[in-house]
Amino acid sequence: MLEGYSFGKFAETDGEVVFTTGMTGYPESLTDPSYSGQILVFTYPLIGNYGVPQFLYGNRNGALQNGFESGKIQVRGVVISNYSFNYSHFDAHYSLHDWLNENNIPGIYGIDTRELTKILRTRGVMLGKITTEKPDGEITVSDPNERNLAAEVCVKEPVVYGKKSGKKILLVDCGVKNNIIRNFVNRKAEVIRVPHDYDPMKSEYEFNGIFVSNGPGDPKMCKTTIENLRKSFDLGVPIFGICLGSQILGLAAGADTYKLKFGHRSQNQPCIETGGHCYITSQNHGYAVERSTLPDDWEEWFYNNNDGTNEGVKHKTKPFFAVQFHPESSPGPNDTGWLFDKFLELV
């Protein structure tokens, strides 16, 4: 048990404890739907020093606020080493403490997050709890990965963004980040955002391509999404997936996925495109496609230079492809933003 000091909401919470090695971007990370069900540990020691931009409460469905990746804080709790009580930034509206408190999210500081990260790297991510009192007995924590988290964080009804005259992208929302939508809209595409279980084969919308978004949890819990995507291969339109979308595309193709020991969560992961080019990428995932299970008509596209795990797949002859990292960044480098251009060129 590790002891620290409370900030944010003085309350208890539980979830899967994961760590990120990113040095900046905590407002974006905390609102990333891929972190749903998780307690996020920041290895960078100083958090809160530049405050938080103004957050437009109540503007949930379809909000694309700058600096935030969804309409609410998605993490279950926050663990940091040193909390900066004094913040300074031209865009800061209030403190991280106030923002967490208003959203009922507990935080704890004064923790040796480097030591905690060593434990998670050695033993793997584990279930944990932030509590306000020392427990008398055994702590029980439910595993969020046993639920279909994508169903919990996606939109419930379709939302349309962008120009009506642009290329039309059917975005299957499994927990999409705002900056993915921004990347399409900024390229003058129309985005039709639909729930995770939406069937493209029965769509009332016209579309030129299908995009499957990032999101939280075990991809195998997204059974309806996988089956709908498998049927959509017959449409012949280009398909692009990111993060959870890459795992779902792999499963729809007939491959298998597995849980990583501690996942990849940072903004400095080196990924190599088969052929030799290396990119520095932003990442947030705990599962991966098992490359050895890819069918003969599919191939690995990218792999992680740190641990060799799969970071992208593509069909050998059809316009179906996906990457495990985040080309939209937010936070992180923009080195792979060209993937949006590649997809729209095929559409």
The answer to whether 59 and 72 have CB atoms below 8 angstroms apart is no
Strands, E, within 120-232: which ranges? 126-130, 159-161, 168-172, 190-194, 209-212
Give the C-alpha separation, 255 to 190, whole Å: 31
d(CA 11, CA 2): 16
Q: Looking at residues 213-231, what average pLDDT do you find?
A: 98
Tokens of 75: 């993490």
Confidence class for position 282, pLDDT limits 50, 70, 90: very high
Answer for the pair 299, 313: CB distance below 8 angstroms, yes or no: yes
For 33, half-sphere exposure in the C-beta direction (CA atoms, 13 angstrom radius) is 26
The set of catalytic residues is: 243, 326, 328
Domain boundaries, the chain: 5-134, 149-346
Residue 285: which pLDDT band, with cuts at 50, 70 and 90? Answer: very high
For position 199, what pLDDT does the model report?
98
Which whole number is the average pLDDT over 304-315? 97
CB 206 within 8 A of CB 170: no
Residue among 89, 101, 284, 332 at smallest CA distance from 175: 284
Whole-prediction pTM value? 0.95
Q: What's the average model confidence in pLDDT over 277-284?
A: 96
Confidence band (pLDDT; 50, 70, 90) for 341? very high
CB neighbours of 241 closer than 8 A, spacing ≥ 6?
Answer: 211, 212, 213, 248, 249, 321, 322, 323
Q: Which residue has the higher pLDDT, 208 or 134?
A: 208
> What architecture is domain 149-346?
3-Layer(aba) Sandwich (3.40)
- HEC sequence for 224-291: HHHHHHHHHHHHCCCEEEECHHHHHHHHHHCCEEEEEEEEEEEEEEEEEECCCCEEEEEEEEEEEEEH
Q: What is the bridge-based pairing of β-strands 38-42 and 77-79?
A: parallel
Average pLDDT (82-89) is 96
Output the average pLDDT for the chain. Answer: 95
pLDDT tens-digit map of 118-150: 999 999 999 999 999 888 878 889 899 999 999
Q: What is the pLDDT of residue 62?
A: 53
CATH code of 5-134, in short, is: 3.50.30.20
- Percent of the chain past pLDDT 90, that is, above it, reads 91
